[in-house]
Amino acid sequence: MSASQSLRRFQIIAVLALGMCFFTGCTSMTTTVVGMSVEDRPIECQRIGFGRDTVLILATIHGNEAAGTPLVSRLAEHLEENPKLLKGRKVVIIPVANPDGYVHNSRFNVNGVDLNRNFPADNFDASQRHGAYALCEPESRAIKAVLDKFKPSRIVSIHQPVACIDYDGPAAELAAAMGQRTNLPVKRIGSRPGSLGSYAGLTLNTPIITFELPATASSMDRESLWNAYGESLIAAIRYPDGA
């Protein structure tokens, strides 16, 4: 077999494999570093699946609201164990969006900026805590880069401690679908200046959920978190299909 024939055969096999992944679902999780924090900690992004319909789920953009990190770790395992959930889909996960805040148990990054007020939303309001200008912080730039690269169909950002399912943009039905799978009520809090919710939901018109876990979630182990909130995340991934 010539080199050109071998290359052609490889290309055909690759296309068939991708086609099988699209129609039957497959995991093949890849992890990449999409940026570095102020203190040079990596901001990692996991991609699971190859489908066109893309869901972005991120945790711990506020470093002292960290229960989402073990929850999305368990979600990644569940998706690898249940590849049919990824039929026609990909799930993109940022397990720790604020790694310095996570280490220091701080809402802010080490520059004292609330990363969830540092996005280029139409309602951005410059201040010491919001940042001198939108995307002035490396962590928020890394998240923006993920948005630009994957252009998600919907987003779930996991927070604490308000214990509700908040939403921005055209996400009322998505919020209701998630609410059916957990005991957290759907509650509109309002679009905060420069928040990811404001930027994605209002500026980009992308459905986004602020998944507010209760304060008690910090004392729950990974399996307890999964039992309480895992089905709600699966509903977000499967949306608008029924769970």
Under 8 Å between Cβ of 53 and 99 = no
Rounded Cα distance between 112 and 31, Å, is 28
Q: Pull the structure tokens for residue 100.
A: 């310095």
**Closest Cα to residue 55, out of 7, 13, 90?**
90
Spatial neighbors of 2 by CB under 8 A, at least 6 apart, are none
Under 8 Å between Cβ of 62 and 212 = no
Q: Pull the structure tokens for residue 196.
A: 């990811």
Among the options 80, 212, 223, 231, which is catalytic? 212
Under 8 Å between Cβ of 123 and 83 = no
Residue 173 annotated as catalytic: no
**Closest Cα to residue 28, out of 91, 99, 95, 101?**
91
CB atoms within 10 A of CB 178: 26
CB atoms within 10 A of CB 4: 8
Give backbone dihedrals phi and psi of 48, rounded to 5 degrees, phi first: -125, 120
Q: Which residues pair with residue 56 across a beta bridge?
A: 92, 155
Residues tagged active-site: 212
